[in-house]
Amino acid sequence: MTGSKGLRRSLRRFFCVLLGLSLVCILGLGPWNGQAAPQLNLPAAADRSKPDTSANAALNCFPLDRLSKDRLASPILKRGEPLDVEVKLHVDEIPLISSTDDQFKLEGFLDVAWCDPRLAEDLIAGVEERVYANEGAIDYLKGIWNPQITFINEIGETVGDDLNLTIFNDGRAEIQRRFMVTLESNFDVHRFPFDRQRLVGEIASFAWDARVVRLIDDGRNLTVSKAFGIPDWSVVGFSSKVIAYDDPDHGNDIFSMLKLEIDVARKSDYYLYKIFVPLGILSFTSIFFLAVPISEIGDRIGFVSGLLFTTLAYQLIIASSVPRVPYFTLGDTYTLFLFFFMVAEVFIAYGISLVDRFGGETKVLVNRVELGCEIVLPLLFVLVNIYFYSQAHL
């Protein structure tokens, strides 16, 4: 009869642990596998391997007699109105996002168009336009006024391998430049690996405030390549708008700025399958220390300790794959829970051993403690995993 009771008790323990493992697999692994892809809200896409050479006819040029004869002077109207400048950004690629360094790389085309009828005097009669390329464009720009449009949140220097300046016979000028730039942006990875970020690009005049240069916001300031994509990230949406910007480096001057925002969501599958799922499985198997006979306290502690050190070694190997930030992310909290979960099991094993040693001949208390651990430990593990993986939907 005693052997029959022991067999039933062992089977009950086995099925409790098996039930906990099944719940982890069903509830833990399920949320991200069925996660719907984010809805992409993109501006008009375009396949643009080279810049568009057509000037925007929306720019209305003003009479030549209202301008200064000095070609380096700003071409603003005598009544004090600022010069309308059109800025168009075509995003070709974002090859890198570094959430640890708060920066990302942007590649594409930047078009800047404005009116300066003084430039039309350089055209031969009957010629509609003249194009200056690369070094020729740079040399020509040194002798004329230009709005000096740039990325004001750039890190380092914007580089480019293709620059065109087109002068039209009605006085319009347009700069088209292919560029690659590293931009600074504030990242918040508290919800890593399920975090979403907003990449920000800020474009404004380097030298001329809003009294001289006013950027046009016509809803067509931003386009993206048809083949646009970001490694390790899903693009959620784009937006652009012209705002007034108070530059602290220029005192109280207000600048007209085009602000580009790209919303992205981290592709978490790599981190889940390569990091968090293996760590979770290693930690969960430590619950099987309850299958070792109570009298073998050394084997119980050795079993849990071996898995604990294996988990720590694995964390050291994958440490370079997670963001290095001075605060705890969701992923850090989860791995820290797994660590303390296994450490707690060592103390639980030792506590059960003490109860077994001093709990009396009936051992009823030992059986209750064992049964409680068989229920509580898998349940706690499952609840924490449900919470962790449910963050993928937020």
Architecture of domain 12-35+270-393: Up-down Bundle (1.20)
Q: Which of 63, 84, 118 is nearest to 208 (CA)?
A: 84
Segments making up each domain of the chain, as ranges: 12-35+270-393, 45-267
Please tell me which residue, 368 or 193, carries the higher pLDDT value.
Answer: 193
> What is the C-alpha to C-alpha distance for residues 331 and 279, in angstroms, rounded to an integer?
11
> What is the C-alpha to C-alpha distance for residues 148 and 206, in angstroms, rounded to an integer?
6
DSSP string, 238-302: EEEEEEEEE-GGGTT-EEEEEEEEEEEEE--HHHIIIIIHHHHHHHHHGGGGGGS-TT-HHHHHH
**pLDDT per position as a tens digit, 360-391:** 555 677 788 888 888 999 999 999 999 999 98
Please tell me which residue, 265 or 5, carries the higher pLDDT value.
Answer: 265
What's the whole-number average pLDDT of the chain?
81
User: Per the CATH hierarchy, to which homologous superfamily does domain 45-267 belong?
Assistant: Neurotransmitter-gated ion-channel ligand-binding domain (2.70.170.10)
Instruction: Quote the tokens at residue 114.
Output: 């404005």
- Residue 50: per-residue pLDDT: 47
pTM of the model: 0.78
Mean pLDDT of 73-83: 71
DSSP string, 340-370: HHHHHHHHHHHHHHHHHHHS-SS-HHHHHHH
Please tell me which residue, 186 or 317, carries the higher pLDDT value.
Answer: 186
> What is the C-alpha to C-alpha distance for residues 364 and 370, in angstroms, rounded to an integer?
10
Cα dihedral 373→375→376→377 (10° resolution)? 70
CB burial string 184-196: b at 16+ within 10 A, e below: bbebebebbbbbe
> pLDDT tier at 192 (50, 70, 90 boundaries)?
very high
Is residue 115 a contact partner of residue 171, using CB atoms and an 8 Å limit?
yes
- Residue 60: per-residue pLDDT: 59
Cα 201 from chain centroid (whole Å) = 14
- Residue 392: per-residue pLDDT: 81
> What is the C-alpha to C-alpha distance for residues 131 and 244, in angstroms, rounded to an integer?
32
> What is the C-alpha to C-alpha distance for residues 281 and 11, in angstroms, rounded to an integer?
22
- Residue 229: per-residue pLDDT: 83
- Residue 387: per-residue pLDDT: 93
